[in-house]
Amino acid sequence: MKASIAAALGAGIALAAAGAARAGTLDTVKKNGVLRCGVTTGLIGFSQPDSSGAWKGFDVDLCRALASAIFDDPTKVKYVPTTPVDRMTVLLAGDIDVLSRVTTVTLSREEGGLMFAGVNYYDGQGFIVRKDPKHEVKSALDLGGASICVQAGSTTQGNLVDYFGSHGIKVDVVTFGTAPETLAAYDSGRCDVYTTDASALYSQRLKMKDPAANVVLPEIISKEPLGPAVRKDDVAWFQLVSWTLHAMVDAEELGVTSKNVDEKLKSNDPATLRLLGVKGDLGTKLGVSNDWVVRILKHVGNYGESFEANLGSGSPLKIARGLNALWTKGGLQYSPPFE
């Protein structure tokens, strides 16, 4: 091995070790007795408090899964609402332990100090317009001259400029600081169009005066892989968050659910026994108990169960699995092996 390569590798290993030693997020969480999870200010299906004030949703389930793995108690979470503008500052300042809120994985965000632990939802940016029999809009390419409401601090704004700019179409972009303001502006007729991640359009449509009077256009103009983020300085914490996501996906693939997990402890499938910690010591090496995945599955469920309950057939959103189906069913959700 060349000396320069060896030196670079050595430096990398030293840096990783220093990072892991320095941050100790898992120890902080254990000491606090609660996980501080950054969520949205309210987005149905992903993170939204119910009528009793309890946070519910697909991104909330990741917080609950982590709390289950660490404390065997999904309620040991403090939810911290964040906006697209302040979410990264809040994480970098150490005010939350993990950010779990429809945030797109991008290089500049990682360069800015974040590390994404994976992708829990493959999304893309879409448009919603009011149905108008006199002036039917069938495509985003019909939107020349339209005013478009968009929330600041999102990838959405840049994609919009790129898309219409590259098609030589002039539009009027109107920016708002919060989701309720953006939605209210569109719903009251201030804008002709509302744009954000397609999943969020289905969610926000439920809050409109007359949801059925609005239609989502067919174009998806960007890639929005959404995932939980942590600070870049704690590799061990990053791995726990990352493998929590994987555990939920792997459980779905292996057919282990919240309902049958006890039975599956007696399975004769080696991959299932390793995932559930009956064989090996994968959990303790991550800093949690060996039955951490059993805890996640009992309290939260596998990836498919969480998807269906919050976003899919068991929810008001009725979003199809699409790209978020397992890789074995034509989608992109794929867990590396628990070995």
- Residues of this chain that interact with ligand GSH (CB under 6 A) are 40-43, 83-84, 102-104, 151, 154-156, 178-179, 196-197, 200, 204, 224, 226
Question: Between residues 20 and 200, which has the closer beta carbon with respect to ligand GSH?
Answer: 200
The least CB distance from residue 231 to ligand GSH, in Å, is: 17
The least CB distance from residue 105 to ligand GSH, in Å, is: 9
Neighbours of 294 (CB within 10 A): 25
Neighbours of 22 (CB within 10 A): 9
Question: Between residues 25 and 204, which has the closer beta carbon with respect to ligand GSH?
Answer: 204
Containing 81, the helix (H) or strand (E) segment is strand 77-81
The least CB distance from residue 284 to ligand GSH, in Å, is: 34
Question: Between residues 224 and 252, which has the closer beta carbon with respect to ligand GSH?
Answer: 224
Q: What would the two tokens of residue 286 be?
A: 């991550």
The least CB distance from residue 202 to ligand GSH, in Å, is: 11
The least CB distance from residue 87 to ligand GSH, in Å, is: 8
Q: What is the C-alpha to C-alpha distance for residues 37 and 116, in angstroms, rounded to an integer?
A: 14
Question: Between residues 155 and 335, which has the closer beta carbon with respect to ligand GSH?
Answer: 155
Containing 111, the helix (H) or strand (E) segment is helix 107-111
The least CB distance from residue 169 to ligand GSH, in Å, is: 22
Q: How many residues does the chain have?
A: 339
Question: Phi and psi dihedrals of 200, rounded to 5?
Answer: -70, -30
Using a 10 angstrom Cβ sphere, with 0-12 exposed, 13-18 middle and 19 or more buried, the burial of residue 10 is: exposed
- The closest alpha carbon to 326, from 222, 270, 246, belongs to 246
Question: Between residues 173 and 235, which has the closer beta carbon with respect to ligand GSH?
Answer: 173
Question: Between residues 175 and 257, which has the closer beta carbon with respect to ligand GSH?
Answer: 175
Strands (E), the chain: 35-39, 48-49, 55-56, 77-81, 98-99, 114-116, 121-123, 125-130, 147-151, 172-176, 193-197, 214-216, 224-226, 229-231
